Amino acid sequence: MMMRNYDIEGLLRRKNSIIKKSVGLDYDSFEYDGIGFDYEKMMESTGYSFADIQRLQDGSMVGRTPLLELKNITRYARKYAPRGYGARIFLKDEATNLSGSFKARRAAISVHKAKELGYEGVIAATSGNYGAAVAALAAKHGLKCIVVQECFDSAGLAQPEILEKARACEAYGAEVVQLSVGPELFFTYLDLLDETGYFNASLYSPYGIMGIETLGHEIATEMKEKYGKYPEVVVVTNAGGGNLTGTARGIRRAGGKDTAIYAASVNLEGLHMASDKDFNRKSFTTGHTGFGLPFATNPDRTDVPRSAGRPMRYIDRYFTVNQGSVFFATEMLAVLEGLERGPAGNTSLAVAFKLAQEMKEDEFIVVQETEYTGAGKHHQPQLSFAKKNGIEIRFGKPEAEIPGENIVLPKSARDISLKELDLDRIRSSYLKRYRDQSLTDEDYRYLADELRVDTEKIKALLKEMKA
């Protein structure tokens, strides 16, 4: 938990060269004149076709996971829906992947690339699931692995979910470097990349996002083959944006151009993810607004110059749900369907359960992923930890929940409620950094692609900000 003794100024001066050397991509070659870059060129720069990605994942025991219909939960949702409503709810069971989450899809491609390029090892900075995936795939392919994990507050306390993920990383043979909350994570990561010469298995490289495209492709093709149509809605738990980006691209690749992509995050409004005080006052380490919104408004705040996770290019609607409702959905999945799964995918399940009640009975809504659970990831130790940290746990209306002060569990599934975020407000937050700049036509076209609107809408939002 002590700061490493490294030359911060020296690391910052050499940051770009360290990252370029550790990823094997020349990010400068994608840049436009002005503010933008060629996103599709970057995605194609990996040298892998989609068939290559599928083949590599098959060889690593990753992907081809089951798509399950949650018949009991669908019947439960229909209890609260008007007659003729209550869409059929499906779930892509990614917990059956090597390492227990969809992150294995990302790791399979990154680790393969590291081995192909001759790196001795890989490094990942993550609170957990991705670290476990990288560690498992590195073990399978004979590479060394270091996982850098933001773990403790200044009092030395760590959430049980984070500790469970560290245990998983170590079980696969990784060295886990555990740090306290704050800027130490980035500098330690950069220092280790420089010191070891290992491959940067970034969550936000094209390798990682292409790995998730198979997930969306599988959902779309299996639904079409089994039921004769693509799903109306796919709900994706959103944090850094890579999960949503890759899934949406895969669905589009399979032909599901009319499938709506909905983002889902746990509402942690008012808590700052880099705050020592707030760090342990939340009960979710990912899939929450503390990551989802900052990465939507500034996707390049990552460990690579240009993130391949660009969620605003693909989101149709964005919903948040309170912590208590996600815990309720976790127990609902176990009790009604016999599936005990971790909290990340159950964020989407809570949202899908509520939205299904507004959709017709012959429509399909898919929960895009599950994750493994374990002693620390189970909702009971999370709730116990919250209580020890002074968080009130009670039943009531989810709208009464104040993140960092209480967790309100719904008394009934009828009480689960969602909040829909205004995408134009998110777009305006994205555009803030450009409001005083002189933009070219190419800049406007880039921003239109980034925010999935036309250039006139971009100009109107900027004008509104200036006013």
441 and 302 belong to one structural domain? no
Is 427 part of any domain? no
158 and 22 belong to one structural domain? yes
Query: Of 204, 220, 254, at which residue does a domain stop?
Result: 204
Query: Of 204, 234, 257, at which residue does a domain stop?
Result: 204
216 and 197 belong to one structural domain? no
Per the CB < 8 A criterion, the answer to whether 219 and 193 are in contact is no
Two tokens, residue 412: 């009934």
Is 126 part of any domain? yes
178 and 219 belong to one structural domain? no
116 and 94 belong to one structural domain? no
Is 429 part of any domain? no
Per the CB < 8 A criterion, the answer to whether 160 and 375 are in contact is yes
Is 91 part of any domain? yes
Query: Can you give the pLDDT at residue 4?
Result: 56
Pick out the chain residues at pLDDT < 70: 1-6, 127
Is 127 part of any domain? yes
What CATH number is given to the structural domain containing 37?
3.40.50.1100
Query: Of 172, 204, 236, at which residue does a domain stop?
Result: 204
12 and 115 belong to one structural domain? yes
38 and 117 belong to one structural domain? yes
Is 1 part of any domain? no
Is 150 part of any domain? yes
329 and 399 belong to one structural domain? yes
pLDDT in tens, 421-434: 999 999 999 999 99
Query: Can you give the pLDDT at residue 2?
Result: 42
In the chain, how many domains are there? 3
The residue segments making up the domain with residue 447 are 435-466
286 and 328 belong to one structural domain? yes
141 and 276 belong to one structural domain? no
Q: Angle at which helices 103-116 and 206-227 pack, to 10 degrees?
A: 130
Please classify residue 241 by burial: count the beta carbons closer than 10 Å to its beta carbon, then call 0-12 exposed, 13-18 middle and 19+ buried: buried
Is 444 part of any domain? yes
263 and 388 belong to one structural domain? yes
400 and 307 belong to one structural domain? yes
Query: Can you give the pLDDT at residue 182?
Result: 81
